[in-house]
Structure 1
Amino acid sequence: MAENIVNVAPRRRFRMPRTIAALMLREMSTTNGRSPGGYLWAVLEPVLALALLSVVFSYMFRTPALGVNFPLFYATGYLPFMYYSELNAKIATSIRFSRPLLAYPTVTFVDALIGRFLVTSMTQMLVAYIILTGILTLFDTRTILSFPPIFLGFAMAAALGLGLGTLNCYLFSAFPAWERAWGVLTRPLFIISCILFTFEAVPESAQQILWFNPLVHVTGTVRSGVYATYDAAYTSPLYVFGISALALALGLALLRGSHRAFVNE
């Protein structure tokens, strides 16, 4: 009897890591499993897309707002934005994606959220590394990187994607119309998140409105680590982390009481 208890205890202790690892493998195999190259396309697709957009926008905006290289300027805004967007989208549909596995009592909705967060983060950080390394290798960007602000900016994007994604995971399941409404409401985010311009380039009246967009703080923080002369004094990591923590806490509280009903629908 005692021997059985000893054998069961370690299995229970490591249940959550094993479950999350299984969910991550399922995510990686099912998302691009039927495509030639499999999961490799999850990395190559955004790399090629950003390279194409960089070429197109470089003809439209010959002189970047910061530095001398437009692909680098564009990447420093688009990469953290894409990181947030992918996290929010993936985590918001976690219950729907993992519904067959959530029917098992050993798999919880938190496992599903963490699994998608880790896979998406791993993919997007690999994409960011490949693109930034490629730009810095191929072009004379004349930049001196400061990694703490860069890491802080991506951490802010991760927190925001996790927080809003968790809240939307509940809202998308409870109110299906909200998913479409969210897509419409957030469509202008690409334009108003200071990806193609700097915060200081817009009129002061517009700055007072743009400041409340947390992604403006994300892109500004990342760029302050890439461009040594850029002082993003307007950014507030506390503001971004505060919104993220509030959304995460609310989303977890709502999902805790209703996720089983969503699974059984």
Structure 2
Amino acid sequence: MLTRVGRSRLGILWLMAEPIILSSLISLLHWLSGSDLPNGLPVFLFYALGYVPFMMFRSIVNRGAHAIHANISLLHHSRITLLDVMVSRNLMEAMVCSTVIALYMVIATLFMGEPPHQPALFIFGLTLSALLAHGLAMVLASAQVVWEWVEHLVHPFTYLMLPISASFFMLDMMPQETRELLLWNPLVHVHEMNRWAMFGDRVTPYYDVSYVLLWIIMLNLLGMAGLRVARVRLSISD
């Protein structure tokens, strides 16, 4: 927490305020534009619950990719491993955005008459997204130890992921050829599943959980192997 927000109480409050403000502004802009969604889907809720899960993925990847250098002093304690650093940092990012999503769902249920169709499935989808991001963050963090120039690619990569992640659109809106291309991205499967978990049969989802799990296994195994290499490199540099 100290390496993420410092000692200020305002920093801790900003952890929650940042995703709320950004997602609310984006959703408000779409709502004010008068854009309609099929089957009476609520515009504000559709975009808010599309952007916050992506923001969680982006935060874990962006922050996690720099976690080794940000917490290098902790590694002087022999019992603290690189995996400990990555898990704790990424778990914190996931919990913050998950709390914001839970808040939106409570508001949707109490004030908008839009309870989640399958809340347990939405939680499962968030878990998959966090595990994807965690694996990718470990890969990028370990790569930065070996190749410093990787640091400059992380932020552009996550920004480029936004328009192809299905955060702001449904695959059902896309031509078949475009849909098939987008489905190569495992994050698209997660967002499609989350959308169905929230809105039920008002949407037509396209997702394959086994495909997402395969990506999670590959990224996390590669990431943990990369951390072992990175720890050796850090020991040599010390």
Fold match (TM-score > 0.5): yes
Residue 178 (1) aligns with residue 135 (2):
no
Q: Could you tell me which of 44, 57, 68 is aligned with 1:71? A: 44
In structure 1, runs of 5+ residues without a counterpart are 1-27
Q: 1:104 deviation in Å?
A: 2.5
CA RMSD of aligned residues (A): 2.1
Q: 1:235 deviation in Å?
A: 0.4
Find the aligned partners of 1:76 and 1:202 in 2 and give their Cα distance: 20
Find the aligned partners of 1:194 and 1:140 in 2 and give their Cα distance: 25
Structure having the higher helix fraction is: 2
Radius of gyration: which is bigger? 1
Q: How many residues in Structure 1 have an aligned counterpart in Structure 2?
A: 237
Please say which of residues 64-73 and 87-96 is displaced more in the overlay: 64-73
Q: Could you tell me which of 172, 175, 182 is aligned with 1:210? A: 182
Instruction: Look up the match of 1:101.
Output: 74
Q: Could you tell me which of 81, 84, 87 is aligned with 1:111? A: 84
Instruction: Look up the match of 1:90.
Output: 63
Instruction: Look up the match of 1:133.
Output: 106
Q: Is the 8 A contact 2:145 2:230 kept in 1?
A: no
Residue 259 (1) aligns with residue 235 (2):
no
Q: Is the 8 A contact 2:57 2:130 kept in 1?
A: yes
Q: TM-score, normalised by structure 1?
A: 0.81
The 1:135/1:48 distance shift into structure 2, 3 A limit, reads farther
Deviation digits for residues 20-61 of structure 1, max 9, x if unmatched?
xxxxxxxx2342235452312101121122111111121235
The 1:252/1:138 distance shift into structure 2, 3 A limit, reads same
Q: TM-score, normalised by structure 2?
A: 0.90
Find the aligned partners of 2:209 and 2:117 in 1 and give their Cα distance: 19
Instruction: Look up the match of 2:163.
Output: 191
The 1:219/1:67 distance shift into structure 2, 3 A limit, reads farther
The 1:241/1:74 distance shift into structure 2, 3 A limit, reads same
**What is the one-letter code of the residue matched to 2:167?**
I
Residue 62 (1) aligns with residue 47 (2):
no
Sequence identity of aligned pairs in percent? 25
**What is the one-letter code of the residue matched to 1:203?**
P
The 1:95/1:66 distance shift into structure 2, 3 A limit, reads farther
Write out aligned runs for 1:28-47 (5 A).
28-35=1-8, 37-47=10-20
Find the aligned partners of 2:72 and 2:38 in 1 and give their Cα distance: 46
